[in-house]
Structure 1
Amino acid sequence: MSIARLSVKAATNFGVGYKIGAAFKEHFHERCASAASKRLKQFYDSDHGRNVYENALLSTERCYPNIVQELRGLSDGSEVPFENLFLHSLASEIWLYYLDKDANPSPQATFNPPKKQENLRCTDILVNSRSCRIIGHNEDWQRECYGKGYVVDVEIDKQSNKPVNKTTSVKPVGKYNQTESACSETASHTKPHHKHKSIQQKISERNEQFVSFATPCELTGFTFAMNKYFVFTVNSLVPKESNTEGVPIAVLIRALMGARSIEECVQVMQNEPFGCCYGINLNIASIHTNEMWSMEVYSSKDGSSVSLKQLPFEDSETPQNHYVHTNHYKYTPGALELYDNLLYSCARHFTALHQDTPKSVKDVCRILGDTSNSEGPIYRQVVPTEKTATIATGLFDLKSKLMHVFDKNPNLSDPCFSIPFLK
């Protein structure tokens, strides 16, 4: 197996999406033909599923029309219908929440809800000391994505997107028959007529530069990623209720790639006044300071909230501990989870927490590659009887300023490649 790399430069979100979709078109179609993707479409074909989809799309168009354009670009480039791709942007909400509810499917569409614990994903190890500043992440997702993930280096120069001179001949792009300049007009109405801009407006108008691992049909950011200011990793969480008026998690995390301060990170995930559709854990480290945080987003039928925990910097050569996050809430007061006993998540958390304190990249790789607990291994090998596997590992070495990407067990292999931090 090998993880592909793609460098993308464009003037709009549509242009970025188009180039990614075109580059990985074959993988997009293979993903859409899978049983898991067909189940998402089956949910969409139900009355309840269509209502969930329409509410999420409306909220997204109001908050981040530029990201809707990015999805349209992905659709155009890959020749996959837009609704299929937006369904994948709702995949966490659908798989981890709605498919275990009464979705009221139509008589023509029946499905059996999956065992949701199989879909809980990812383990993170965080160390923040003078000798070792690392965030390591196992990306656990559907087995069908194994061998089809890719890393994209994205640069969007929105300031270069000037109005097209009427005398200039510009070739339209894709079935939407749009030029890159025309694509940005969808978001132009969001420019404020007052002094203070919302966080959505700030992020939408900015130039962006980031690196992210991604899987076919999904937005970038929703795995492990970095921009010029932060590194990010993502873990699924399962609150008991969903915020039906919120913006999908994947969309907000895509928007997070434009954040420049931890305050902006919080504001993006708060996403006032709509909030976030569902719960998620984000682990974030500053590239330029010794700061490191773990963020939990919690949803309820009344909205969503954000809890931020700053991890102490151990000012000694020997760190006293390391921090582990899997798929259950750790510090959000009063959080109600869909399951009382998340066996697989707790097993991975227990195994990782009771390892010797890591003092190097090699030590973190050892923990992330641990397979000692057969019921809930930290590194989840591809086996026919399991629907989920570790499809990639990302390790951010904040002292050496390198992002290491592994396509095999990191305790037993070298990285596919190592990417210097952005400057």
Structure 2
Amino acid sequence: MSAKQIARRQAIPVLYTRGTHYDVGFDMGRTFGSVIKSFLQLSGPLNESYLPLYNTEKGKNVYNETLESVKNSFPQYIRELEGVADGAQVEFHKLFLLHMDEILPQSLKHQKTKNQPTGCSTIILNTDKSRVLAHTEDALTETLNHYYFVVAHIINETPQGKYNVKEERFMSLCYAGHLPGYTMSYNHHGLVFSINTVSAEVLRSGKTPRHFITRALLSAQNSEQAFNIIRDKGVGAGDGCSINMTLLNENPKICYNIEMAPSLGDFKESLIDIKKISIGEHNYHANQYERLKLDQANELMIASSVSRMKTFENYNPPTSKQEVIDMLGDCSGGEHCVFREDNTLEQAVKTIAVGVFDLNEKTFALYSDNPKTHEPHVILPLILKK
């Protein structure tokens, strides 16, 4: 049986690792090498678009320009990714291409990879009684069973990267072969966040791919540092995403949704819009820009986002964690429903996991199946720095 034929598994591997950036990356690669190799073989975008373009002169130039930019800002995360490649015994350039995502084909104005209604849905509930950040992780079907938890403690002898970071301690759900930070994560400073992919029409090479901005976010000690990391002054994002976040140790108890887009022209800073969700409020976000006004790509992902947001709006505003969980398990709405699972291997996109951060209880529950009808696979405590 091939990896693509394996049905949804009730298994979520967890790696606890400590060391330098390279050490942590190597441990990820060595521990999950078979899963990473399997994902590299199955990834349609990588094999059908990114690698063929990488093997052209123009594509190689875009790759090298972007790699050099990331090395200048975040050499420690390049070392971390080199560790993953070495530990898994796979080619580094394939992993870096995954982190560039659509920057390569779109910056070359090449025919984009086939539009798919990929993406995620996030609900934030911020009341005195229930403070919840909950998220569906939706991805191409080949990603199913190709993810794992990384709990890492990174200690450096000298400050690293453009933000001079010496220590990082975090937990993150990772796609196979990817750096931590682009799904659901928290760090020991109390930063909790999830990511919604959004697709701007114009992406920029030589800028910082969103995967590295959200990786850097794991080092943030407070909300102002987080905003600065997302702005990425001096370079700016090469592509876009939406960040749903809060700081457990900050008062007042505010949650945020930040839309981040690629910088325009010679402007060396991400375009961002920060929305506050104060006590007594809630927020939904999917996979389209709601507030930043710019051209968007991937019509199917936008159609899916509109459908899922309409489903949420059909509910009364949630007042409890259970109501949020029920909303994320909603299978109405046809093809573009919230929890996507039709039990066929041919389905292009599936919800591969659901995560629920209880911000009052300081726990994270991960579901490997529909949260409306299943118990969480694991509930982990959020361990904060004293």
Q: Which residue of 1 aligns with 2:376?
A: 415
Give the TM-score, by structure 2 length: 0.89
Q: Which residue of 2 aligns with 1:67?
A: 77
1:89–1:252 distance in 2 versus 1, CA, 3 Å? same
1:344 and 2:304 are equivalent in the alignment = yes
Q: Which residue of 1 aligns with 2:163?
A: 201
2:124 to 107, 123, 126: 126
1:141 and 2:139 are equivalent in the alignment = yes
Shift of 1:362: 1.6
Q: Which residue of 2 aligns with 1:292?
A: 255
Q: Which residue of 1 aligns with 2:366?
A: 405
Unmatched 5+ stretches in structure 1: 104-111, 160-183, 191-199, 315-320
Correspondences of 1:358-397 after superposition (within 5 Å): 358-381=318-341, 383-397=344-358
Q: One-letter code of the match for 2:235? A: F
1:34 to 25, 28, 42: 42
Unmatched 5+ stretches in structure 2: 1-8
Computed over aligned residues only, the root mean square deviation of the Cα atoms, in angstroms, reads: 1.9
Alignment check: 8 A CA contact 1:369 1:411 kept? yes
In structure 2, distance between residues paired with 1:417 and 1:16: 23
SS at 1:385's partner residue?
Answer: coil
Alignment check: 8 A CA contact 1:214 1:221 kept? yes
1:24 and 2:22 are equivalent in the alignment = no
Q: One-letter code of the match for 1:155? A: H
Q: How many residues align?
A: 365
Q: Which residue of 1 aligns with 2:5?
A: none
In structure 1, distance between residues paired with 2:371 and 2:244: 20
Deviations 1:165-199 (A, max 9, x none): xxxxxxxxxxxxxxxxxxx8xx87x6xxxxxxxxx
Q: Which residue of 1 aligns with 2:3?
A: none
Correspondences of 1:163-202 after superposition (within 5 Å): 200-202=162-164
SS at 2:234's partner residue?
Answer: coil
Alignment check: 8 A CA contact 1:3 1:148 kept? no
Q: One-letter code of the match for 2:295? A: L
Shift of 1:52: 2.0
Q: One-letter code of the match for 2:279? A: F
Alignment check: 8 A CA contact 2:209 2:237 kept? yes
Correspondences of 1:205-220 after superposition (within 5 Å): 205-220=165-180
In structure 2, distance between residues paired with 1:422 and 1:60: 30
Alignment check: 8 A CA contact 1:133 1:398 kept? yes
SS at 1:156's partner residue?
Answer: strand
Q: Which residue of 2 aligns with 1:44?
A: 54
Correspondences of 1:184-263 after superposition (within 5 Å): 200-202=162-164, 205-228=165-188, 229-263=190-224
Shift of 1:115: 3.2
In structure 2, distance between residues paired with 1:369 and 1:46: 44
1:48–1:300 distance in 2 versus 1, CA, 3 Å? farther
Farther-moved stretch of structure 1 (38-47 vs 122-131): 38-47
SS at 1:313's partner residue?
Answer: coil
Deviations 1:37-71 (A, max 9, x none): 31232232233322221111011000000000001
In structure 2, distance between residues paired with 1:223 and 1:206: 23
Alignment check: 8 A CA contact 1:324 1:349 kept? yes
In structure 2, distance between residues paired with 1:340 and 1:29: 30
In structure 2, distance between residues paired with 1:201 and 1:291: 24
SS at 1:330's partner residue?
Answer: coil
In structure 2, distance between residues paired with 1:419 and 1:237: 29
1:265–1:407 distance in 2 versus 1, CA, 3 Å? same
Shift of 1:403: 0.5
1:35–1:63 distance in 2 versus 1, CA, 3 Å? closer
Alignment check: 8 A CA contact 2:368 2:377 kept? yes
Q: One-letter code of the match for 1:343? A: A
Alignment check: 8 A CA contact 1:241 1:300 kept? no
In structure 1, distance between residues paired with 2:104 and 2:363: 34
In structure 2, distance between residues paired with 1:93 and 1:288: 36
Shift of 1:386: 2.5
In structure 2, distance between residues paired with 1:93 and 1:393: 27
Q: Which residue of 1 aligns with 2:294?
A: 335
Give the TM-score, by structure 1 length: 0.82
Shift of 1:346: 0.5
1:9 to 15, 18, 23: 18
Deviations 1:64-94 (A, max 9, x none): 0000000110011000111011111112535
